[in-house]
Structure 1
Amino acid sequence: MKKLFLCCIAMTMVLGCSNESADRVDETEGFTLLRHDATALEATYRSGGTSVRALVTESSPNVIEVTYDFGESIVGFRIDYNQGVGRFMPSGNPLDAAQSRLINGLAEGLEKAVPETERTRIEDTAMRQTSFMQIVPVGETLTPYQYVAERGWVHLSCTCGNQNIGGYTRQAGRGCSCNGGDNGCKGRCGQGCGITSTPKCVGTTAYTQDCAKHDYGLGSFAAASDDYSFASNNCSCSGVGTCY
């Protein structure tokens, strides 16, 4: 027991402890903001006995470490804004549908806790990577990879209409009605919007070709990694609940 306790302390210093430890700290259902200051943001989302713990820290100037700890699964990111390089670092079991729902709740809670106006680097990274986590495949073995902000993303028009999304023509742009027959806000590097989506506008307001290709099943989540992490916001979102 002593060794287990010491191990848990060591893990907490790096990634936060497992779900079991997090549950002992706070068993509140829903979103809980544990820490929010100039150097770190830490939050949990708990539902039905399962939880995810997010920790975002600045390890050196403009280098942000992000961890999502589900207990048996951990997904980490290292975003180096100086070099324009990101690392995707999963470990443990594949994500499942319940964990995907936890991420959706976490994204909604973060959106309310860190409003879009004048977000800090840590706040912005927390929203961007949590938005990215919403498109990480469920039930698949995930492997680490590196992605580069090579100034290769192409912004879309914010006005909904048929657009070139990188070799394909599809409806894309702002608005829940801009849905191409599915969820709206096609091309947005963040959660889609539609009648069943709550909230309807969370995360970044960058609309790009790679994100649109992913939305239509024409490109992988990995190909959109740099768009989620680095692409500038070219459109706007008017509050939680409405996507413009």
Structure 2
Amino acid sequence: MRKLFLCAVSLVLAVGCSSGPEQQQAQSAEGFALLQHDATTIEATYSSGGASVRALVVETSKDVVEVTYDFGDPVIGFHIDYNQGVGQFMPSGSPLDAAQAQLLTPLLEGIMKALPQTPDAPRTRVETAAERQTSFMQIVPVGEALTAYEYVSERGWTHISCTCGNQYIGSGYYRTAGRGCGCTGGSGQGCKGRCGQGCGITSTPGCVGTTAYTQDCAKHDYGLGSFSAASDDYTFASNNCSCSGVGTCY
């Protein structure tokens, strides 16, 4: 696992060493910048208030993707093997702090604006990984020491209904969950049970993040389950709900 993480970090450093003046200028600017986007690689940055994150997503072989979020300190990596249905969470360095965590939502919004999806142009593997893992990064705990772990898709997930209502979310719990900004269950943001933080972003057409609604994601939303238990849902669960339009709650 450590070898995989070091390889991911090496990819970040290699791209950084080859950056030209235009890339260096983009990285130092405030806001979002898409530095590279092709069939096997996506590189993007978001900077605000002196904090920055650099996301690098590389398909190193068929359906095997390395994803790295470099905050300087920490660096958080994922190794995702879609062939085997296995993911690895590989953090290094200090805990994620609040200023760094606040970069992730605008980073995801920037990525989704830059990678529009249409019926004629489905997501590539690296685009899917960029969307889903950045969504997952939004729920990584802040201020807590992070440890590496592995998660496996074959352990499965259970979809819940897209329609907002009182639903069974597993482990003996019933809670309000489903699509809609008003589907809060009286607790925080709407869209409870969605494997992606909160509801739609009004400035972005279509969906931001996944539209998978599952029991483990619902338990996490209500503080009844860990972020690690929802890892396989965020990475692998199929989208069972839909959304459309600008500012649509989903």
- Aligned partner of 1:187 among 160, 181, 193: 193
d(CA) in 1 for partners of 2:168, 2:246: 28
Moved more, 234-243 or 167-176: 234-243
Distance 2:236 2:246 in 1: 22
Aligned-pair CA distance for 1:236: 1.1
Measure, in 1, the Cα distance between the counterparts of 2:66 and 2:151.
15
2:26/2:33 contact within 8 Å kept: no
Cα pair distance change 1:197/1:216, threshold 3 Å = farther
Q: Does structure 1 conserve the Cα–Cα contact (< 8 Å) formed by 2:202 and 2:246?
A: no
String of CA shifts for 1:62-120, please: whole Å, max 9, x gaps: 00000000001100000100000000000011000100111111011011111243111
Opposite residue 60 of structure 1, the aligned amino acid is S
Per the alignment, in what secondary structure is the counterpart of residue 28 of structure 2? Answer: coil
Distance 1:238 1:100 in 2: 27
Aligned match of 2:4: none
- 2:223 is matched by which residue type in structure 1? G
TM score, norm. by length of structure 1: 0.88
TM-score (norm. length: structure 2): 0.86
Counterpart Cα distance in 2 of 1:217 and 1:25: 38
Q: Provide structure 2 residue ranges, at least 5 long, that are not aligned to the other structure.
A: 1-8
Correspondence 1:170 to 2:175 = yes
- Over residues 154-191 of structure 1, what are the superposed CA-to-partner deviations in whole Å (9 max), with x where a residue is unaligned? 00111111100002100000110111112000000001
Change over 3 Å in CA distance of 1:106–1:10 after alignment to 2: closer
1:27 Cα offset (Å)? 1.6
1:9: Cα distance to partner? 8.9
- Per the alignment, residue 104 of structure 2 pairs with 103
1-structure distance, mates of 2:28, 2:176: 43
Structure 1: unaligned runs, 5 residues or longer = 1-7
Which secondary structure does the structure 2 equivalent of 1:186 belong to? coil
Structure 1 residues 172, 146: CA separation in 2 closer, same or farther (over 3 Å shift)? Answer: same
Q: Would you say how many aligned residue pairs link Structure 1 and Structure 2?
A: 232
Partner of residue 137 from structure 2, selected from 133, 154, 172: 133
Q: Specify the alignment match of 1:229 in structure 2.
A: 235
In 2: Cα distance, 1:50 partner to 1:158 partner:
36
Measured on the aligned residues, the alpha-carbon RMSD in Å equals 2.4
Distance in structure 2 (CA, Å) of the matches to 1:33 and 1:55: 10
The 5 A counterparts of 1:113-124 are 113-117=114-118, 118-124=122-128
Quote how far apart the aligned CAs of 1:151 are.
4.8
Look up the equivalent residue of 1:183 and give its one-letter code. Q
Residues 7-48 of structure 1, C-alpha deviations (whole Å, 9 max, x = no match):
x9986227x47xxx9866632211100000001000000101
The 2-side partners of 1:9 and 1:150 are apart by 30
- Tell me the residue number matched to 1:143: 147
Q: 1:169 to 1:198 in 2, by over 3 A?
A: farther
